[in-house]
Structure 1
């Protein structure tokens, strides 16, 4: 089982990957939205913002998100680490229910290029 530190490191790596992206990836990640990632097996939520193509984690909270972020992710720690490492494809995990992504319709359309 992935640790809280491994999950935080995975989010940092994902942020670096988004910031280094080009074209459609860079455009999709250029949103300015509140973001939460609930790691279900650890019952930990990373809360922050997606801004300027980077994920800025501001808080690490015990339990589910306390506020409803504009972009909400939920998954196990192992799935988060595997996705960032390229071992698990996001669209496949999302389609099978291993990952939950909730956002407004317009944001979902923009984020789909990241999938």
Structure 2
């Protein structure tokens, strides 16, 4: 089981990767939404604002107003960010859950 700090670090790495992808696709992706990530096995959550492909102000705790919600175990989150777990396969297998409106999901997919 990964630690809370490892999960926080993974989310920051994910933020950097999404920002790189956003720069590659340019201004084609306009996505400014509150995001929350729940780590099921640790019983913790993080929230941030997804803006310009980057997670801004990553903070501990849930955001009940989040428009995008990611739910995963600590190990799955760390493995996904490290490239050891394919997001689409993990989502299809029910290991990772992403809740958002369909248009946001399409935009988010381009960032990941």
What TM-score does the superposition give when structure 1 sets the normalisation length? 0.86
CA RMSD of the aligned region, Å? 1.8
What is the CA-CA distance between 1:59 and the residue it aligns to? 2.2
What TM-score does the superposition give when structure 2 sets the normalisation length? 0.88
Structure 1: gaps (5+ residues):
none
Contact 1:46/1:57 (8 A) holds in 2: no
**Matches of 1:35 and 1:42, distance apart in 2:** 18
Equivalenced residue count is 110
1:47-75 CA distance string (max 9 Å, x none):
111012101244212xxx35131000000
Spell out structure 1 runs of 4+ moving beyond 4 A. none
Are 1:23 and 2:28 an aligned pair? no
Give the match for residue 91 of structure 1.
88
Identify the structure with the greater helix proportion. 2
Structure 2: gaps (5+ residues):
none
